[in-house]
Amino acid sequence: MNHPVYLEMTDDEFAAIKARHAASTPGPWDWFGSTDADTVDLATTHSGREWIISFRRYGMRSAGPVFRGQFRRFTIPEGRSPVREVLKRHVRYEVLGYRTRAEAGIAPDADRSNSRLYREDWRGIDHPDADLIAHAPVDIGMLLAEVERLRALPPSSPSSPSSATTSASTSPAPATSP
Protein backbone atom coordinates (compact mmCIF):
# COMPACT_ATOMS: atom_id res chain seq x y z
CA MET A 1 0.00 0.00 0.00
CA ASN A 2 1.44 3.36 -1.03
CA HIS A 3 0.88 6.54 0.92
CA PRO A 4 0.13 9.72 -1.05
CA VAL A 5 2.99 12.16 -1.56
CA TYR A 6 2.29 15.76 -0.59
CA LEU A 7 4.74 18.41 -1.75
CA GLU A 8 3.09 21.58 -0.58
CA MET A 9 0.65 22.31 2.22
CA THR A 10 -1.63 25.33 2.05
CA ASP A 11 -1.80 27.75 4.95
CA ASP A 12 -5.39 26.63 5.64
CA GLU A 13 -4.37 22.94 5.75
CA PHE A 14 -1.48 23.77 8.06
CA ALA A 15 -3.78 25.81 10.34
CA ALA A 16 -6.32 22.96 10.46
CA ILE A 17 -3.67 20.39 11.44
CA LYS A 18 -2.27 22.75 14.04
CA ALA A 19 -5.77 23.37 15.48
CA ARG A 20 -6.52 19.62 15.69
CA HIS A 21 -3.19 19.03 17.40
CA ALA A 22 -3.76 21.88 19.88
CA ALA A 23 -7.26 20.57 20.73
CA SER A 24 -6.11 16.98 21.33
CA THR A 25 -4.87 15.45 24.57
CA PRO A 26 -1.12 16.15 24.82
CA GLY A 27 1.21 13.18 24.31
CA PRO A 28 3.04 11.03 24.72
CA TRP A 29 0.46 8.25 24.61
CA ASP A 30 0.77 4.48 24.83
CA TRP A 31 -1.41 1.38 24.99
CA PHE A 32 -2.13 -0.07 28.46
CA GLY A 33 -4.22 -2.92 29.77
CA SER A 34 -4.40 -6.32 31.36
CA THR A 35 -5.05 -9.65 29.72
CA ASP A 36 -6.32 -10.79 33.15
CA ALA A 37 -8.98 -8.10 33.42
CA ASP A 38 -9.67 -7.81 29.67
CA THR A 39 -8.90 -4.08 29.59
CA VAL A 40 -7.43 -2.12 26.70
CA ASP A 41 -6.76 1.62 26.91
CA LEU A 42 -4.92 4.20 24.86
CA ALA A 43 -3.80 6.67 27.53
CA THR A 44 -1.26 9.34 28.34
CA THR A 45 2.03 8.23 29.88
CA HIS A 46 1.87 11.29 32.14
CA SER A 47 -0.75 12.96 34.36
CA GLY A 48 -2.00 9.72 35.86
CA ARG A 49 -2.83 7.99 32.58
CA GLU A 50 -5.64 10.08 31.14
CA TRP A 51 -7.68 7.87 28.82
CA ILE A 52 -7.72 8.68 25.13
CA ILE A 53 -9.64 5.54 24.08
CA SER A 54 -10.91 2.79 26.34
CA PHE A 55 -12.46 -0.52 25.29
CA ARG A 56 -14.77 -2.04 27.86
CA ARG A 57 -17.28 -4.43 26.23
CA TYR A 58 -16.14 -8.02 26.56
CA GLY A 59 -18.27 -11.09 26.24
CA MET A 60 -20.44 -12.08 23.29
CA ARG A 61 -17.22 -12.48 21.25
CA SER A 62 -15.39 -9.54 22.83
CA ALA A 63 -14.44 -6.03 21.76
CA GLY A 64 -11.05 -4.39 21.57
CA PRO A 65 -8.40 -3.24 19.13
CA VAL A 66 -7.42 -5.77 16.53
CA PHE A 67 -4.99 -4.44 13.97
CA ARG A 68 -4.62 -5.42 10.33
CA GLY A 69 -3.16 -8.86 9.78
CA GLN A 70 -3.26 -10.09 13.38
CA PHE A 71 -5.76 -12.93 12.89
CA ARG A 72 -3.88 -14.36 9.89
CA ARG A 73 -0.95 -15.39 12.07
CA PHE A 74 -2.64 -18.04 14.24
CA THR A 75 -5.86 -19.91 14.99
CA ILE A 76 -8.05 -18.89 17.94
CA PRO A 77 -8.78 -21.92 20.15
CA GLU A 78 -12.51 -22.72 20.51
CA GLY A 79 -14.07 -20.99 23.52
CA ARG A 80 -11.24 -18.45 23.90
CA SER A 81 -11.59 -14.68 23.64
CA PRO A 82 -10.21 -13.58 20.23
CA VAL A 83 -9.15 -10.22 21.65
CA ARG A 84 -7.34 -11.81 24.60
CA GLU A 85 -5.55 -14.27 22.33
CA VAL A 86 -4.43 -11.49 19.96
CA LEU A 87 -3.28 -9.27 22.81
CA LYS A 88 -1.30 -12.07 24.49
CA ARG A 89 0.81 -12.26 21.33
CA HIS A 90 1.29 -8.54 20.71
CA VAL A 91 1.45 -6.63 24.00
CA ARG A 92 4.60 -5.64 25.89
CA TYR A 93 4.25 -6.83 29.48
CA GLU A 94 5.40 -4.62 32.35
CA VAL A 95 6.78 -7.59 34.33
CA LEU A 96 8.77 -8.75 31.29
CA GLY A 97 10.60 -5.44 30.90
CA TYR A 98 8.15 -4.20 28.23
CA ARG A 99 8.83 -7.18 25.98
CA THR A 100 6.31 -9.41 24.24
CA ARG A 101 5.91 -13.02 25.37
CA ALA A 102 7.85 -14.17 22.28
CA GLU A 103 10.70 -11.73 22.98
CA ALA A 104 10.88 -13.05 26.56
CA GLY A 105 10.77 -16.70 25.42
CA ILE A 106 7.32 -17.39 26.90
CA ALA A 107 4.68 -19.33 24.97
CA PRO A 108 1.49 -17.45 24.03
CA ASP A 109 -0.64 -19.88 26.04
CA ALA A 110 1.56 -19.80 29.18
CA ASP A 111 -0.32 -19.02 32.36
CA ARG A 112 0.66 -17.73 35.79
CA SER A 113 2.55 -20.93 36.55
CA ASN A 114 5.39 -19.24 34.67
CA SER A 115 6.90 -17.24 37.53
CA ARG A 116 8.17 -14.52 35.17
CA LEU A 117 4.58 -13.71 34.13
CA TYR A 118 2.97 -13.34 37.56
CA ARG A 119 0.92 -10.31 36.47
CA GLU A 120 -0.58 -9.63 33.05
CA ASP A 121 -0.55 -5.82 33.03
CA TRP A 122 0.97 -4.45 29.88
CA ARG A 123 2.04 -1.24 28.16
CA GLY A 124 2.44 -1.04 24.40
CA ILE A 125 1.19 -3.11 21.46
CA ASP A 126 3.79 -4.57 19.12
CA HIS A 127 2.19 -3.53 15.81
CA PRO A 128 3.19 -0.69 13.44
CA ASP A 129 -0.33 0.82 13.30
CA ALA A 130 -0.58 0.81 17.11
CA ASP A 131 2.84 2.52 17.32
CA LEU A 132 1.76 5.16 14.79
CA ILE A 133 -1.39 5.97 16.78
CA ALA A 134 0.44 6.10 20.12
CA HIS A 135 3.21 8.35 18.73
CA ALA A 136 0.88 10.68 16.79
CA PRO A 137 0.72 13.60 19.27
CA VAL A 138 4.49 13.84 19.72
CA ASP A 139 5.28 13.19 16.04
CA ILE A 140 2.75 15.78 14.85
CA GLY A 141 4.06 18.34 17.34
CA MET A 142 7.62 17.85 16.08
CA LEU A 143 6.51 18.04 12.45
CA LEU A 144 4.51 21.22 13.08
CA ALA A 145 7.53 22.82 14.72
CA GLU A 146 9.71 21.85 11.75
CA VAL A 147 7.19 23.24 9.25
CA GLU A 148 7.05 26.51 11.19
CA ARG A 149 10.86 26.65 11.27
CA LEU A 150 11.11 26.06 7.53
CA ARG A 151 8.39 28.57 6.72
CA ALA A 152 10.21 31.20 8.77
CA LEU A 153 13.37 30.91 6.65
CA PRO A 154 13.95 33.66 4.09
CA PRO A 155 12.98 32.60 0.52
CA SER A 156 16.59 32.84 -0.68
CA SER A 157 17.86 30.43 2.01
CA PRO A 158 19.24 27.18 0.53
CA SER A 159 17.13 25.11 2.96
CA SER A 160 13.90 27.07 2.59
CA PRO A 161 10.95 25.07 1.27
CA SER A 162 10.44 27.38 -1.72
CA SER A 163 13.99 26.79 -2.98
CA ALA A 164 13.71 22.98 -2.90
CA THR A 165 12.95 21.15 -6.12
CA THR A 166 11.68 17.64 -6.48
CA SER A 167 10.48 15.34 -9.24
CA ALA A 168 7.92 13.46 -7.15
CA SER A 169 4.31 13.69 -8.20
CA THR A 170 1.68 15.22 -5.98
CA SER A 171 -1.59 13.72 -4.87
CA PRO A 172 -4.63 15.69 -3.85
CA ALA A 173 -4.90 16.36 -0.14
CA PRO A 174 -7.48 14.26 1.70
CA ALA A 175 -10.70 15.95 2.77
CA THR A 176 -10.42 17.52 6.19
CA SER A 177 -13.04 16.98 8.85
CA PRO A 178 -14.41 19.89 10.84
Hey, how many other C-beta atoms are within 10 angstroms of the C-beta on 169?
8
pLDDT of residue 109: 73
- Rounded distance between C-alpha atoms, residue 107 and residue 90, angstroms: 12
The percentage of the chain sitting over the pLDDT mark of 70, rounded to a whole number, equals: 67
Range ranked top by mean pLDDT from 39-48, 79-88, 130-139, 149-158: 130-139
Is residue 52 a contact partner of residue 25, using CB atoms and an 8 Å limit?
Answer: yes
Mean of the per-residue pLDDT values for the chain?
Answer: 74
Question: Which pLDDT band, with edges at 50, 70 and 90, does 158 fall under?
Answer: low
State yes or no: pLDDT of 145 exceeds 70: yes
Question: What pTM was computed for the model?
Answer: 0.60
Asked if residue 102 has pLDDT above 80, the reply is yes
Least confident of 81-90, 94-103, 136-145: 81-90
